[in-house]
Amino acid sequence: MNRLLPISLMALGSVIAPCSGAQTNIAQVRLFSLSLQCERGRGVDTIGFEWFLNMTTLVLGGFNGELSPNFLSGTTSHSSFFYLWNDFFGESFDGGIELDMPFPTDANGNGFADFFEVSQSVSGPGAGTCPPPWRTSSGPGTRDPPAE
């Protein structure tokens, strides 16, 4: 039995050796993401208080800064959850945000739409309307006069 072991290992090695050459090739891989990572935003209001904005696609908490393609709704191209807060007053607002990106072009061929790159120009409408989603008795996006 001890004599057969070295012979068996040599036979096995002679079968495996020719196949091992295929394992030395290098695979060419290109990874990309359809999502965009947004860093935490910071803004100062007219009074001078700082506000912070985080975006995420995580439902159970935490911020990943992701603005992702909107796979669930066909009405807009990208969506995310947002969290806006002010440390001084402890105020916070959260909700969802959706945006519709113009037809994606990639002039420099780096895999990111030019719409998201500050170094690339994007042609598109220079003006438009953004109607507010609320409705009052005076009509959509208007404020009712104060009651006297």
Q: What is the DSSP letter of 18?
A: G
pTM of the predicted model over 0.75: no
Q: Where are the domains of the chain?
A: 33-118
Q: Burial level of 55, CB count in 10 A (0-12/13-18/19+)?
A: buried
pLDDT in 10s for each residue of the chain, 148 residues: 556 555 565 665 665 655 555 566 788 887 777 788 888 999 998 888 999 999 998 877 788 999 888 876 778 888 889 999 998 888 898 888 888 877 778 888 887 788 777 777 766 666 666 666 666 666 554 555 555 5
Q: Residue 55's beta-bridge partner residues? A: 82
Q: Burial level of 120, CB count in 10 A (0-12/13-18/19+)?
A: middle
Rounded CA separation 98/63 (Å): 17
